[in-house]
Amino acid sequence: MQDRPTLAESRSAREGLPPGWEVVIGLEIHVELATRSKVFCGCSTEFGAPPNTHVCPVCLGLPGSLPVLNEKAVEYAVRAGLALNCRVAELAKFDRKNYFYPDLPKAYQISQYDRPLCADGWLDVEVDGRTRRVGIIRVHLEEETGKLVHSTATIVGSRYSLVDYNRCGVPLIEIVTRPDMRTPEEARLFLEELRRVMLYLGISDVKMEEGSLRCDANVSLRRPGEQRLGTKTEVKNLNTFKAVERALRYEAWRQAAILEEGGVIRQETRAWDESSGTTILMRTKETVEDYRYFPEPDLPPVQLDPSWVDAIRRSLPELPAARRRRLEETYKLPAYDASVLCEHPALADFFEDVARRTGDPKAASNWVMSEVLRLLRAMGMEPADLAGRETWAAYLSEVLDLVRAGTVTATVGKEVLEESLRTGQPPSAIVRARGLEQVGDESQLVQWVRQAIAANPDAVASYRSGKEQAAGFLVGQVMKLSRGKANPKVVGELVRKELGPPGQG
Amino acid sequence: MTGAVAMTEEGALLFGSIEQLSERLWRGEISARELAEAHLRQIERIDGEIHAYLTVVAERALAQAEEADRRIARRRQEEGGAVDVRRLEPSERLVGIPWACKDVLCTEGVRTTCGSRMLEHFVPPYSATAVRRLDEAGAVMLGKVNMDEFAMGSSNENSAFGPTRNPWDLARVPGGSSGGSAAAVAAGEAVFSLGSDTGGSVRLPASYCGVVGLKPTYGAVSRYGLVAYASSLDQVGPIARSVRDCAIVFEAIAGPDPMDATSAPGPVPEVLPTLELGVKGVRLGIAPEYFGEGLSAPVREAVLGAVARLEREGATTVEVRMPHLEYALPVYYIISSSEASSNLARYDGVRYGLREPGDDVVAMFSRTRRAGFGDEVKRRIMLGTYALSTGYYDAFYVKAQKVRTLIRRDFEQAFERADVLVTPVSPSVAFRLGERVDDPLRMYLTDIYTLSVNLAGLPAVSVPCGFSPEGLPIGVQIIGPAFAEARVLQVARAVEAAVADQVAHRRPAVAVR
């Protein structure tokens, strides 16, 4: 009965939260670290290679093989911990988490149990203009498992499964938060902010679609004012930011429905099912596996030299929150602009480069947010690809200068920017070669205006009947005739001069 | 008939020391191929009775031998005909020397069974570091030798492929788990061998077979490629017919390895330069805990007799106490079984080794493991799984680790007063096949004197010190502080010299008849 959503639940699941309940959410987030080699062997971590080509005796767990810790992975994990305001352990150790599964070649995962690399931190997240602080319990380092490929889309009904061990041994950090979030939206915003922090640190691709960022959520309900936590359920299979929010909202309603009928919540693990928009029972507490953790005898404990940790702390980049604040203050940008630009560090870098070159931050921001992002999409690129493209910044600032100086119109400017980025030609050269300078010469403009009036009697009639907007249409026609080169302001004046005030004639 | 003459020459090839054989090889008196062929003939002749070898790689061995011959020939040419053998690097003395490898060390392209049905057809794609170092030194691997399944056992009776027999008495066990390694060396089926020692698995069979076995300090020899039984206790160690041969092999395989995070940093330890220094002024620690109830009279007499002879050579004895030694056995079985339960979990039928299909993946796991593992392995997996389970972990595993620290401390305190400890290797001489298989506890007691050394990570050597009235060899154990291999081998060499009149001339009848 617990597993079948009522009509009210499924409808409400998309709308708000169950009234009279406080929703308590904690997250467990896995982030794959973008080290070049795996955490315990020298194999490549590259994503998408043919199955079982990035493997060796160590990551395949062949008899007799031994793990050797990749120091870069420790450094990355410590970077993450420091950025999340954690305490870094002076002595950390690894433990074995024992369980049988075909994607786990040693039948144990090397993880960290009671002495994680980092603990006791926090991350602030903006929710509706207010800052919420989410506690971080721990950040620990572990190894990825392999991947099962089933003969059908899911394991159910599969005749056979194949295993790809390429991913096996890719370094992974697990970040566990305190149950400090109170709405599904807050959880999503936290996860998005965490993702940006990881991006800024340069330690992960954090791509949910490729699985380099994964999230499980613990959720429970209690009456407002109640101190004790309710029984939680764990929700897995949250593969998009939207899924995090939807699944948690669904789960809140599901639990509320049970509690309001006088039922009790069972501690259990549930999977989010995107197609039905519900969570499905995976396993109950009674069937929880005993992982029989014990210290990994193949790896000596890790001594973390405080001066090494300090050096990492000093090398941390400006993090997204600080950067948003700085962009707002330094460039007098609206909060919205700052948040869009700070979505990716390379995008913010690019903006700052353009802003410095042109001296017009708001224009730079507008163009980066609209034109640059559009062109990236059109060219099949991502904000990350802006890194190191100083020429592009130079070209955009040149376009902005041309527009501001009135040499070209904004419309032409956009066209020139696109061509410039695609061909590598400087904007001024394109403008010169194609004769795209803005036309301000009145005799030429009057000629186009008269042409437009002659060709569009309906619009003229409409203008004369009092519809002011018809003038805008005619200006557009003139811009078309001029192939964007006409000065739209002058054209507007000329149209009105030719036709007289609207509603007359 | 030329039998007697041929036997003498053959005997010299089969029972020569590394240095004797090496000298003849480098002088061009014999070829590595001849030497390898003599050993292959000996295996052919007697291994049906001894069953030391699980796999003989004759072709590969002859190819390695020919490579060794070319290496020697090149060098002889460079030096104008004669190579000054005294100027050879210690590892160069292994060029062309035939050896046997315990089937627990991975050998690229040569099946590595661990004495288990589970890995009966497993051919590793890589070689253990110790094996690779011997390959590079030019040694000639004859094959893979028998052992208790996954190195769990004291008699070799836990091999899935049938037990090895003791060359001194074919009705008796060779000891375990490196029984094949010790028997092969004792019977002239290899000049030396590698074994592994988790609780006495090199020293016990060395003692039972009348050969020398060294268990190095934990971390002295890389464990890379050694199929794990209990990772915090396992060490690779050499077995040979003399202390000097053991020392030569140890130097060749020891030293740091980037593939093993637990291998000790620092230079390759040197043990040869001090080998002949004797025992004058050396303080021999005698702990009464090793000489109490359960120790058989012949072993006690032989061990104390060796101590007396060392005293005559100028050593002194000092009594030391090991108050926590009595806990070594339970502590060992909790820790080793816990680690084993995890180490052996990977044999699930998914990637390599035996697979018994089932209706689903869990059924496949259980059927594979039920069919692939023998009783003793299952017993220890269950014991270890239990000890690590929620609710029992603190009472068993954590407690055992604490007592392990106390045992280590006992040794540290003993070594403040003594340079080495001298103890028996095992309470009795080699027992009869089948005698203890139905009594696991009694079987476990066989290792009572050796286990604590692994718990403390120390070096220890088993060296022959006499024979029982029925003609079975008895070994004495010399234990030293961590990384004091040079010291334990030096004392072992003194024992060897002191008892030479009783021991040196004796060979198992089966090997020389």
pLDDT digits (tens, 9 = 90+) for B355-374: 999 998 999 999 999 999 99
Tell me the pLDDT band of B4, cut-offs 50, 70 and 90: very low
Whole-angstrom distance, CA of residue B458 vs CA of residue B482: 5
Query: Looking at beta carbons, which residues of chain A come within 8 Å of B342?
Result: 96, 98, 107-108, 292, 294
**Which pLDDT belongs to residue A1?**
41
Cα dihedral sign, A400-A402-A405-A410:
negative
Residue in A closest to B118 by C-alpha: A63
Q: What sign does the CA torsion over B434, B435, B439, B445 have?
A: negative
pLDDT exceeds cutoff 80 at A216? yes
Using an 8 Å CB-CB cutoff, list residues of chain B that contact chain A.
Answer: 105-106, 112, 114, 119, 122, 124-126, 128, 223-228, 230-232, 258-262, 338-339, 341-342, 345-346, 348, 350-352, 361-362, 365, 385, 388-390, 393, 397
For CA atoms B354, B358, B360, B366, give the dihedral sign.
negative
Residues of chain B neighbouring A69 (CB-CB closer than 8 A): 261
Contact list in A for residue B390 (CB cut-off 8 A) is 290, 292
Closest-CA residue of chain B to A52: B351
Structural domain contains residue B478: yes
B175 Rama sector, left if φ>0, alpha if ψ -120 to 50, beta otherwise: left
| Cα B361 from Cα A101, distance rounded (Å) | 8
Nearest to B224 among A60, A66, A161 (CB): A66
> Is residue B337 a part of any domain in this protein?
no
Q: What's the confidence (pLDDT) of residue A14?
A: 55
Q: Of how many residues is chain A composed?
A: 505
The pLDDT assigned to B374 comes to 98
Query: In the 8-state DSSP scheme, what is residue A301?
Result: P
> For B123-158, how does the pLDDT look when each residue is reduced to its tens digit (9 = 90+)?
999 999 999 999 999 999 999 999 999 999 999 999
| pLDDT tens per residue across span A39-51 | 999 999 998 899 9
Tell me, yes or no, whether B362 lies in a domain.
no
Taking residue B507's Cβ as centre, other Cβ atoms within 10 Å add up to 18
Size of interface A-B (CB pairs under 8 A): 101
Q: Do B261 and A69 touch (CB under 8 A)?
A: yes
Q: Which residues on A lie below 8 Å from B124 (Cβ)? A: 57, 62-64
Where does the pLDDT of residue A505 fall: very low under 50, low under 70, confident under 90, or very high at 90 and above?
low
CA distance A148 to A156: 13
Chain B: residue whose CA lies nearest to A156: B360
B3 pLDDT tier (thresholds 50, 70, 90): very low
- Going edge to edge, which strands form the sheet with A233-238? A87-88, A118-127, A130-143, A171-177, A22-32, A213-222, A233-238, A268-273, A278-284
Contacts of A65 in chain B (CB under 8 A): 126, 224-225
Average pLDDT over residues A400-420: 90
Asked, for residue B353, whether it belongs to a domain, the answer is no
Task: Identify which of A67, A163, A294 has the shortest CB distance to residue B261.
Answer: A67
> Is residue A499 scored above 70 in pLDDT?
yes
Q: Tell me what pLDDT residue B20 has.
A: 94
pLDDT tens profile A142-194 = 999 999 988 877 666 778 889 999 999 999 999 999 999 999 999 999 999 99
List of residues 6+ apart from B279 with CB closer than 8 A: B310, B313, B314, B315, B490, B491, B494
Judged against a pLDDT cut of 60, whether residue A198 lies above it is answered with: yes
As beta bridge partners, residue A174 has A30, A140
Using CA atoms in the order B6, B8, B14, B18, what is the torsion angle rounded to 10 degrees?
-130
Q: Write the pLDDT tens digit of every residue in B444-493.
A: 888 999 999 999 999 999 999 999 999 999 999 999 999 999 999 999 99
What is the distance in angstroms between the Cα of B343 and the nearest Cα belonging to chain A?
8
CB contact under 8 A, A63 and B227: yes
Residue A160 sits at the vertex; the CA angle it makes with A284 and A289, to the nearest 5 degrees, is 25
- pLDDT at residue number B91: 75
Start-to-end Cα distance in chain B: 15
Contact B128 A64 (CB under 8 A): yes
**B261 closest CB neighbour out of A60, A68, A292:** A68
- For A182, other C-beta atoms within 10 Å of its C-beta total 15
Indicate whether A490 pLDDT > 60. Answer: yes
Q: At residue A491, what are phi and psi to the nearest 5 degrees? A: -60, -45
- Structure tokens that stand for A63 in this block: 């008899």
- Min CA distance, A130 vs chain B (Å)? 43
Taking Cα atoms as reference points, which of B80, B88, B397, B450 lies closest to residue B290?
B450
Q: For residue A454, what pLDDT is reported?
A: 87
Which SS3 state, helix, strand or coil, does residue A96 take? strand
State whether A64 and B227 contact (CB < 8 Å): yes
pTM value?
Answer: 0.90
Are the C-beta atoms of B245 and B18 separated by less than 8 Å? Answer: yes
Q: Do A297 and B385 touch (CB under 8 A)?
A: no
With 70 as the cut, is the pLDDT of residue A430 above it?
A: yes
Quick check: B339 and A297 CB within 8 A?
yes
The amino acid sitting at A417 is: L
Q: Look at residue A94 and tell me whether its pLDDT is greater than 70.
A: yes
- Test A64 with B261 for CB contact under 8 angstroms: no
Please give the pLDDT value at position B88. 82
The answer to whether the beta carbons of residues A90 and A74 sit under 8 Å apart is no
Per the structure, the complete domain to which residue B191 belongs is given by 3-324+408-512
- pLDDT over 80 at B353, yes or no: yes
Residue B384 inside a domain? The answer is no
CA atoms of B478 and B423, how far apart (whole Å): 7
Suggest the residue from A41, A58, A65, A106 to mutate for an interface test with chain B (most B CBs closer than 10 A): A65
* Residue B372 CB-density burial (10 A; 0-12 exposed, 13-18 middle, 19+ buried): buried
For chain A, give every residue range classified as CATH 1.10.10.410.
442-499
Does position A12 have pLDDT exceeding 60, yes or no?
A: no
H/E stretch holding B240 = strand B235-240
What pLDDT is recorded for position B275?
A: 97
Q: Over the stretch B394-439, which tens digit does the pLDDT of each residue have?
A: 999 999 999 999 999 999 999 999 999 999 999 999 999 999 988 8
Angle (CA) A430 A432 A434, round 5°? 65
Count of domains in chain B? 1
Q: What is the pLDDT of residues A380-399, one digit of tens each?
A: 999 999 998 999 999 999 99
Please give the backbone phi and psi of residue A71, each rounded to the nearest 5 degrees, phi first. -65, -30
Q: What is the pLDDT of residue B5?
A: 36
Determine, yes or no, domain membership for B359: no
Would you state the pLDDT for residue A433? 85
Give the percent of chain B with pLDDT over 90: 88
Read off the pLDDT of each residue in B229-256 and give the average, rounded to a whole number.
97
CB–CB contact B261 A98 (8 Å): no
pLDDT at B2: 31
- Which tokens hold the place of A13? 């699941």
pLDDT of residue B337: 98
Catalytic annotation, residues of B: 102, 177, 201
> In this predicted structure, what is the pLDDT of residue B444?
87
Where do runs of H (alpha helix) occur along A359-468? 361-367, 373-378, 390-404, 410-423, 427-434, 442-455, 457-464
- Residue A127 confidence (pLDDT) above 80: yes
Check residue B82 and give its pLDDT: 74
Q: Can you point out the beta strands (E) in B345-479?
A: 420-424, 460-467, 473-479
Instruction: Round the average pLDDT of chain A to a whole number and report it.
Output: 91
pLDDT band at A495 (very low <50, low <70, confident <90, very high): confident
Binary contact (B346, A105; C-beta < 8 A): yes
Give A117→chain B minimum CA distance, Å: 18
pLDDT at position A3 over 60: no
Residues of chain A contacting B385 with CB distance shorter than 8 Å: 292
Q: Which of B225, B261, B346 sits opposite A61 (nearest CB)?
A: B346
**Reported confidence tier of residue A406, pLDDT bands at 50, 70, 90:** confident
Structure-model confidence comparison of residues A82 and A6, the more confident one: A82
Instruction: Provide CATH code, domain A442-499.
Output: 1.10.10.410
In a domain, B354, yes or no: no
For B72-86, B325-339, B378-392, B487-501, which range has the lowest pLDDT when averaged over its residues? B72-86
pLDDT on residue A2? 46
Chain A residues whose CB is inside 8 A of the B227 CB are 63-64
| B223 contacts in chain A (CB < 8 Å) | 64, 66
Rounded distance, CA A50 to CA A360, Å? Answer: 48
Average pLDDT over residues A370-383: 94
Give B436's Cβ-side CA count (13 Å radius): 23
Q: Distance from A299 to chain B by nearest Cα, in Å?
A: 6
At B244, list the tokens.
Answer: 């000097």
Residue A463 confidence (pLDDT): 86
In a domain, B394, yes or no: no
Q: What's B232's domain CATH number?
A: 3.90.1300.10
- Type of residue numbered B167: P
Q: Please tell me which residue of chain A has the smallest CA distance to B105.
A: A64
